[in-house]
């Protein structure tokens, strides 16, 4: 499904996609094929979600789930100029906005650690 969305997004002038349950090894080639760029990957375990079972009444948990260690949430930019130097400033700006968005939702200890490493 993600690969199909990437191909469809590539027909737009510009697309910014949030991809949940992202597996880098699974989607890296597909992103390269559509001339996309990964702007941000959340560190594993820092992006909460509602488990699928909740929506169909199969989940007894009251809390949110957490991604498995090999999953993360990623934001990918696709479109004309994404890989061009002429758009580099725009991509850096978008990366900052997406990182701030993640930091507003992430656990405080991860936010501090991640932002300090950047």
Q: Taking the domains of the chain in order of start, what are their residue ranges?
A: 2-117
Angle CA 9–98–111, to nearest 5: 140
**Two tokens, residue 40:** 């941000």
Structure tokens at 48: 């909460």
pTM recorded for the entire structure: 0.74
Query: Residue 42, class by beta-carbon neighbours within 10 Å (0-12 exposed, 13-18 middle, 19+ buried)?
Result: buried
> Does residue 33 surpass a pLDDT of 70?
yes
Question: Are 5 and 21 in contact, with CB atoms under 8 Å apart?
Answer: no
Q: In this structure, what token pair is assigned to residue 96?
A: 């900052």
Which two structure tokens, joined as six digits, stand for 18?
């949030």
pLDDT tens, position by position, 35-94 = 999 999 888 777 766 555 555 555 555 545 555 666 678 899 998 888 888 788 889 999
């Amino acid at each position: 499904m993600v690969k199909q969305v990437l191909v469809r997004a590539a027909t737009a002038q510009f697309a910014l996609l949030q991809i949940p349950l992202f597996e880098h090894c699974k989607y890296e080639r597909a992103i390269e094929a559509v001339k996309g760029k990964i702007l941000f990957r959340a560190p594993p375990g820092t992006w909460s979600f509602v488990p699928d079972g909740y929506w169909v009444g199969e989940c007894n948990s009251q809390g949110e789930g957490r991604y498995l260690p090999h999953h993360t949430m990623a934001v990918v930019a696709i479109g004309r100029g994404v890989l061009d130097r002429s758009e580099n400033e725009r991509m850096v700006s978008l990366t900052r906005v997406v990182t701030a968005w993640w930091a507003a939702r992430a656990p405080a200890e991860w936010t501090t650690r991640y932002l300090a490493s950047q």
